[in-house]
Amino acid sequence: MTENMTLRGGAVSEEQRTHRLMVLGAGVMGVGIATLGIGSGLPVTLVDVDEGKLGQARRQIRRELKLARLMGALPEGTAPGELTTTTSAKEGAAATAVIEAVTELAEVKAAVLAEVSALVAPGTPVVSNTSSIPIDELADAVARPEDFIGTHFMNPPCLIPTVEVIRGKRTGDAVEATLTSVLAELGRTALVVADNPGFVTSRVLHPMLNDAIRVVREGTAPPETVDALFEGCLGHRTGPLRTADLIGLDNLADSLRVLYERTGDEGCKPDQLLLDKVQAGHFGRKTGRGFYDYGGHAS
């Protein structure tokens, strides 16, 4: 996998890099996407309303760049792109693509998207990075629905070579083409899917993770055994509980609620053990504790 990523990442020369990114939201995914942009040599403006969070984000980006280099996941010899952090989206208005990665709540995303889509030039892709919210629902909030499209980057974006791209009913052909070129400069491959709650990956994966959590709550097996079974018997690279910790248990619970509200699928109703962990502030890797203890280090 590492070798493939290096090849893909190296496929775009410095002269071919033309994009400038604005990333909205300095949470786990915003930081990860900003890291991918900078590591690929693109200038990135990272916007968050919380100045303190931006300070943490700068440190986390340095750490994630190191991780990406450690894994050979960035093109060798590429000078990092310039990182600007700001509390004002106006500073990133000249971006050639905007990626919104704020928290997984439709009303919060809609408010941010409404503001930013009015700031950028027509034809600039306005992208919502979401694990489950239908794009056409959010399209009502943006200034130009034809410039609006969805992505679902996996965490950590630098290490995952493929991005699920969601085309809404009103998404135009031009924005899809531009986003594909942005992703190519980031060394990622786009796979375009239709717009439904959870799209493909979350619609399948998140109820499965919820089931794995239920299995733990019911005492069938502890997290270590559940994960070892998926890794050892089924060949999964990472078991479901470690995956849940990596996604963020708060984000997983939010995503499951989105799926449950929109599909009525009982399997998507967040399990009580998941809700208890979120209530206790144990969100997984990012808080240092979830189904596993990460030694108190958020990572």
Partner 1 sequence: MTTTPEPTADVIAERITRFLEERTKISFAVDTDVFASGSVNSLFAMELVVFLEESFDVEIGGSDLRLDNMRTVRSMTGLVQRLRDADEDGHG
| Residues recognised as catalytic | 152
- Asked whether position 295 contacts partner 1 by CB under 8 A, the answer is yes
Window 246 to 265, contacts with partner 1 (CB under 8 A): 246
- Give whichever of 134 and 284 is closer to partner 1, judged by the CB atom: 284
Give the x/- contact pattern for partner 1 in 225-244, rule: CB under 8 A.
------xx----xx---x--
Nearer to partner 1, 93 or 159 (CB): 159
Instruction: Assess contact for 124 and 116: CB atoms under 8 A.
Output: no
How far apart are the C-alpha atoms of 81 and 229, rounded to whole Å?
41
Piece of the chain touching partner 1 by CB under 8 A; list 85-93, 249-257, 265-273, 290-298: 290-298
Contacts 24+ apart (CB under 8 A), 109-116: 109/133, 109/138, 109/141, 110/138, 110/140, 110/141, 111/141, 112/24, 112/25, 113/138, 113/141, 113/142, 113/148, 114/141, 114/142, 114/143, 115/89, 116/22, 116/24, 116/89
Kindly state whether residue 70 participates in binding partner 1, applying the rule CB under 8 A.
yes
- The answer to whether residues 284 and 248 touch, using CB atoms and an 8 Å cutoff, is yes
Segment contacting partner 1 by CB under 8 A, of 64-72, 93-101, 169-177, 211-219: 64-72
Q: How far apart are CA 162 and CA 154, in angstroms?
A: 8
CB nearer to partner 1: give 122 or 295: 295
Contact assessment for residue 207 and residue 259, using Cβ atoms and an 8 Å cutoff: yes
Closest approach of partner 1 to the CB of residue 163, in Å: 19
221 binds partner 1 (CB under 8 A): no
Least CB distance to partner 1 at residue 202 (A) = 21
Applying CB under 8 A, what is the total number of residues that bind partner 1?
A: 20
Binding site for partner 1 (CB under 8 A): 63, 66-67, 69-72, 156, 159, 231-232, 237-238, 242, 246, 285, 294-295, 297, 299
